[in-house]
Amino acid sequence: MTKKENIERNIGMTFNFIKHLVEHPEIINTLPDGAEITFIDKDMPFKAKEYPKRKKIARYRIEHIFEPIKA
């Protein structure tokens, strides 16, 4: 995947996530204040070690819906 394709994919996921939040506003309350939102592709393995523990991170696995990941 080229850098441009990766950027376009990430922008698309962001807009899809915002649409999902509009359709399911109760999810907003599950996001910690100041959290960084990370999207994890359904086909990619998740490795918690890759993310520093000092940051607030809300992770979502992407399939047809956004599924919160507890770490």
Count other Cβ atoms within 10 Å, centred on residue 60: 19
Above 80 in pLDDT, residue 69?
no
Mean pLDDT of the chain: 77
Give the pLDDT band of residue 65 (cuts 50, 70, 90).
Answer: low
Q: DSSP class of residue 71?
A: -
Higher pLDDT, 70 or 15: 15
In the chain, the number of structural domains is 1
Cα–Cα dist 66/30, whole Å:
13
**Once rounded to an integer, what is the mean pLDDT over residues 34-50?**
70
Residue range of the domain that includes 7: 3-69
What does the block give as tokens for 27? 């999810």
